[in-house]
C-alpha cells in the first residue's frame, strides 16, 4: 500500500463514480434509507399516540430532532455485535432519544422499516425517472418534427427498402418510449404501502397493544400509510410485501432498457452509414490509433448499460419464486444489489438518451447519395406505369426494365460503380416517350407515402398529450460526466 492513494484502493461502483445522477444516487443512499427508517418510527409513534397508547408529544419531538443526525459508526459497531441491522439502528436511535427509547419500534417487526422504506424508495425512484423519460420524448419529438419530410432509405432485413423519412423513423422510437412512460407510470401508481402488519402479517402484536381492538389496529395501518404519502396499502402480507411487486418494477425498467437498446442500435447503424451522428465534442477522441474516427460512444454505452438492465429482472423472478411461506431471508442480499442497480441503470440510460437526442446530427447529402444508388430500382414500377400511359405494352416494358436493371446491378456489385439504370433508360430509344418525366418519377418525396403527415398526426394525437402531464417539470440539458 506504500505510495498508494487509499481513496482508490477500494472497489467503487461505476454508478457512483461515472454513470448515475446525484438524485438517484441519493435515493439509494444510506442517509435516505436510515432517515426514512426514523421517519417511519415517528409515524408509528404518532399514530399509536393518536389512538390512545401512552406516548407523549415530548417523546415524538425528541425523535423528530434526531431524524438526520445518524451516527453511522455507532450503528456499524452495533450491527457487528448484534448481526441485525434494524436492532442496531433501534439502539443508536434510542441512545440519542432516551425519553423515546421505550416506544421506538413499538409493536413492529424489522420489515416495518425495511419493506416500507423499500417501497418509498421504489416510488421515489420512479418519480426521478418519469420526468427524465418525458425529456427524452420531448427532445425526440422535436427531432421527428424537424425531420418529418426528409426522405431516407427504409431498411428491412438491413437491406434497402421502400423510402421512409428521417422523422418517421424517429416516431418508431417515440412509440416505444410512450409505452415505457405508460408502463412506468402505471407501475408507480400500482405501488402500495406494506403498512403496519407485524411479524407474519397478522397484526397480532398490534392487536395485543390495543387490547384486542381490531378497529384501532386497522386505523393504525391507515394512518401510517397516509403519513408515508401512500393512498393505498397491501391488504395482506406475509412478513414482507409480495416480491412480485419487485418483479413489476424491474419488468418496466427492463422494458425501458430494451427500448433504449433498439434506439441506440439504430443510431449506431446509421452512424456507420454516415447518415446520422450522435453529438461529438470538439476535444473528443474517437480512437487512440485512428485520429479520424468518430465512434458513437454514447450510443454504445447506452446499449451496454441497457443490456445489463434488461437482464436484472430475472433476479426478481427468482427471488419471488423462492420465497418460502411467509418469508425467507435469501431475498435480502439479492434485492440490495438488484433493485438499486436497476434504477441506477435506467437513470443513466435516460440521461444518455437525452444527451444524444439533444445533439443528433442529420447528413441529408449522404442520405441523398445512398438513395440515388437504390431509387432507380425502386422506381421501376413507376417507369412501367408511365410507359403504359404513353401507349406502351406492360410486359414488353417490364422485360426491358428487367434487363437494364440487371446490367446496372452488375455495374454496382461487380465493378463497384454507381447505379446507372437511369442513364441506360435515357439512352434506350424505347423509353423516348417518358424521358421528360424521369426527374419527376425519381423525386424521393413521391416515394415516402404519408410519412410526413403520419409524423405530424402522431405527435399531435399521442406524444403532445403525454408531454402535457410534464409541462411544469423542468429538465436541464444533460452533460455526461465521462
Q: 179: exposed, middle or buried (C-beta count within 10 Å: 0-12, 13-18, 19+)?
A: middle
Q: What is the DSSP code (8-state) at residue 193? A: B
- Residues with Cβ within 8 Å of 428's Cβ and at least 6 positions away in sequence, in order, are 400, 404
* SS3 (DSSP) at 23: helix
Active-site residue numbers? Answer: 157, 287
Q: Nearest CA to 116 among 200, 43, 217? A: 43
Helix crossing, 364-378 with 380-389: angle to 10°? 50
CA distance readout (Å), 320 to 116, 214, 257, 275, 343 = 17, 30, 21, 45, 19
Phi, psi of 276 (to 5 degrees): -135, 150
Q: Nearest CA to 360 among 147, 132, 131? A: 147
Phi, psi of 253 (to 5 degrees): -75, -40
Residue with grid cell 421506538, as numbered in its chain:
104
Q: Nearest CA to 275 among 170, 166, 159? A: 166
Amino acid at each position: 500500500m506504500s505510495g498508494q492513494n487509499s481513496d482508490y484502493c477500494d472497489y467503487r461502483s461505476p454508478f457512483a463514480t461515472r454513470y448515475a445522477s446525484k438524485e438517484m444516487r441519493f435515493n439509494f443512499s444510506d442517509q435516505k434509507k436510515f432517515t426514512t427508517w426514523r421517519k417511519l418510527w415517528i409515524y408509528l409513534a404518532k399514530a399509536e399516540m393518536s389512538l390512545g397508547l401512552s406516548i407523549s408529544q415530548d417523546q415524538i419531538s425528541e425523535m423528530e430532532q434526531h431524524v438526520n443526525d445518524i451516527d453511522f459508526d455507532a450503528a456499524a459497531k452495533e450491527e457487528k455485535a448484534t448481526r441485525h441491522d434494524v436492532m442496531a439502528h433501534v439502539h443508536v436511535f434510542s441512545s440519542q432519544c432516551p425519553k423515546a427509547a421505550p416506544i421506538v419500534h413499538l409493536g413492529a417487526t424489522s420489515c416495518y422499516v425495511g419493506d416500507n422504506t423499500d417501497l418509498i424508495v421504489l416510488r421515489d425512484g420512479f418519480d426521478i425517472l418519469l420526468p427524465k423519460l418525458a425529456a427524452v420524448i420531448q427532445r425526440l419529438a422535436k427531432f421527428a418534427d424537424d425531420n418529418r419530410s426528409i426522405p431516407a432509405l427504409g431498411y428491412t432485413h438491413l437491406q434497402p427498402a421502400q423510402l421512409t423519412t428521417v422523422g418517421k423513423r424517429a416516431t418508431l422510437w417515440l412509440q416505444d418510449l410512450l409505452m415505457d412512460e405508460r408502463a412506468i407510470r402505471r407501475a408507480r401508481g400500482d405501488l402500495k404501502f406494506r403498512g403496519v402488519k407485524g411479524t407474519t402479517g397478522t397484526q397480532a402484536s398490534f392487536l395485543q397493544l390495543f387490547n384486542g381492538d381490531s378497529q384501532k389496529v386497522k386505523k393504525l395501518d391507515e394512518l401510517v400509510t397516509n403519513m408515508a404519502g401512500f393512498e393505498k396499502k397491501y391488504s395482506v402480507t406475509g412478513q414482507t410485501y409480495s416480491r412480485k411487486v419487485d418483479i413489476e418494477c424491474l419488468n418496466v425498467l427492463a422494458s425501458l432498457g430494451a427500448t433504449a437498446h433498439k434506439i441506440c442500435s439504430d443510431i449506431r447503424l446509421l452512424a456507420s452509414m454516415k447518415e446520422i451522428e450522435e453529438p461529438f465534442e470538439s476535444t473528443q477522441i474517437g480512437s487512440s490509433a485512428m485520429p479520424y474516427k468518430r465512434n458513437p460512444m454514447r450510443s454504445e454505452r447506452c446499449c451496454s448499460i441497457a443490456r445489463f438492465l434488461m437482464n436484472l429482472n430475472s433476479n426478481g423472478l427468482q427471488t419471488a419464486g423462492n420465497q418460502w411461506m411467509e418469508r425467507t431471508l435469501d431475498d435480502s442480499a439479492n434485492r440490495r444489489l438488484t433493485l438499486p442497480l436497476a434504477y441506477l441503470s435506467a437513470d443513466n440510460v435516460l440521461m444518455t438518451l437525452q444527451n444524444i437526442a439533444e445533439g443528433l446530427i442529420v447528413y441529408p447529402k449522404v442520405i441523398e447519395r445512398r438513395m440515388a444508388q437504390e431509387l432507380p430500382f425502386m422506381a421501376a414500377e413507376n417507369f412501367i406505369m408511365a410507359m403504359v400511359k404513353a401507349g406502351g405494352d406492360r410486359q414488353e416494358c417490364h422485360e426491358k426494365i428487367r434487363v437494364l436493371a440487371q446490367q446496372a446491378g452488375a455495374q454496382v456489385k461487380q465493378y463497384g460503380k454507381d447505379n446507372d439504370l437511369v442513364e441506360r433508360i435515357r439512352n434506350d430509344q424505347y423509353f423516348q416517350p417518358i424521358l421528360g418525366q424521369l426527374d419527376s418519377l425519381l423525386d424521393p418525396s413521391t416515394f415516402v407515402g404519408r410519412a410526413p403527415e403520419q409524423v405530424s398526426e402522431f405527435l399531435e394525437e399521442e406524444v403532445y398529450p403525454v408531454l402535457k402531464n410534464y409541462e411544469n417539470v423542468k429538465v436541464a440539458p444533460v452533460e455526461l460526466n465521462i
